[in-house]
Amino acid sequence: MSGSKQTVAVIDYGSSNLRSVAKAIEHVAEGRQRILVTSDATEIANADRVVFPGQGAIGDCMQNLSEKGLDQVIKTAIVDKPFFGICLGLQSLMDRSDEDGGVDGLGIISGKVVHFPVASIDQKTGERLKIPHMGWNEVNQNGYHPMWNGINPGSRFYFVHSYYVMPPQDEVIAATTDYCLNFTSAITKDNVFAVQFHPEKSQHDGLQLLANFLDWDGSAS
């Protein structure tokens, strides 16, 4: 409606990092949008934009989504509104994850989620790389996307994860990062953008990414 604020729904399925994500979005919104933390399917369906944050184990994530009926509302919301996934909010979009003995995802993006190789060696130092991948690392953008506006290629973001996504189609890869191997750290498809790192913990560039999402119309140009 004319003159009304857009609503940004932050999906609450029980994730422990939910409040920090919501606070970061509220900070960059500066009152221009209404930020709604919710597990209500109707509120999510009626929102103008949807953010799906998550951390922890994917088995618990998918179970909670199913129990709350949020798996279906995500699939519906993702059709026609800007959608931003963070960490498990990325991994859960895939077909299947190897975590927790094998868990089906939402199947919105083709591909699977796999564990980092456990005995990888840093080619520069010769030291064994620790799993989980934790801390700051470079995110190498795969071409232009409006979500990267104001963020330099190779900017560093904060990661905490032991699993990474493997999409079979290169065209959905929005960025890659080197750790153990060159893995996909961001994906995009239509009005969906999702990242493995935590923008809410990534200082200026993370806040810029969240601000870009609030302005993004859901297109790749």
Residue 118 main-chain phi, psi, to 5 deg: -80, -15
Query: Could you give the CA distance from residue 43 to residue 73 in angstroms, rounded to a whole number?
Result: 10
**Other Cβ atoms closer than 10 A to 136:** 13
Contact present, 80 and 111 (Cβ < 8 Å) = no
Catalytic residues: 87, 198, 200
Query: Could you give the CA distance from residue 34 to residue 45 in angstroms, rounded to a whole number?
Result: 15
What are the b/e assignments for 177-200, b being 16+ CB within 10 Å?
bebbeebbbbbbbebbbbbbbbbb
123 Cβ contact partners less than 8 Å away, ≥ 6 residues apart: none
Six token digits for residue 11: 């999906």
